[in-house]
A = this chain, B = another copy of it.
């Protein structure tokens, strides 16, 4: 998980350039990394047979590369491997924003949108590295604990690398807006209800014999609120 030596600005193209509420757009790469590293899943959009298709999937970031993966049996994955234009949205909901007016009700969030065509990751070493990045994002510590993919499993998985060159980040934080019409509504409450993603108590699989302890890399997550790769 190394930072990119050259860090170009975000939003270099018209489709990744904000046209509304510019104050909500972040322009630095750290904001992009924060969103990608905080979210447990992303939504990938592409055009298939003329229709938009959006599907949730796992992701993992290494520097300025976003890795995705999927079964070689999936039509959507094959379309992405064949160079379909992709749009990946990653959203973290941080709070429900209660204003004095319904029109100013909103959400606090961190949201990234990335455009581009992904390159298939090939070769055993590069593919294994990418899968490790994906694994460390979803389940940090598992790579060194569970059985790593064999050649047959590697062959059944397509791995994709999407460059983070064309991206935008939109963030809303803080208090609800206050419309002039509501300035004197002093007795009306307004504020933010924080939203957290939390982990519960691990549930051991039925096929695991009694006495096998939940490993530390799993049990330790229950206390934490946010998801960070181990290098953070």
Contacts and interface: CB of A to CB of B under 8 A. Distances in A.
Contacts of A96: 40, 138-139, 199
A147 B102 contact: yes
Interface in A203-232: 203-209, 212-215, 218, 221-222
A89 B143 CA distance: 30
Which 6 A/B pairs are nearest by Cβ-Cβ distance? Answer: A194-B200, A45-B54, A54-B89, A56-B91, A45-B52, A45-B45
A148 interface: yes
A45 B189 CA distance: 35
29 contacts: A15-B49, A40-B93, A43-B89, A44-B54, A46-B52, A51-B85, A52-B86, A52-B87, A54-B88, A56-B89, A96-B139, A96-B199, A98-B218, A101-B147, A101-B153, A102-B146, A102-B147, A102-B148, A105-B139, A147-B185, A175-B205, A176-B205, A186-B212, A189-B212, A191-B218, A192-B205, A194-B201, A195-B198, A195-B200
Nearest to A191: B204
A38 interface: no
Given A52-B52, A93-B40, A101-B149, A194 B199 contact: yes
Given A46-B52, A109-B56, A189-B208, A102 B196 contact: no
B195 A197 contact: yes
Interface string A22-46: 0000000000000000001101111
Given A146-B100, A205-B176, A113 B195 contact: no
A62 to B, nearest CB: 17
A12 interface: no
A58 B107 contact: yes
A16 B30 CA distance: 37
Nearest to A186: B209
Interface stretch (A1-9, A68-76, A119-127): A68-76
A182 interface: yes
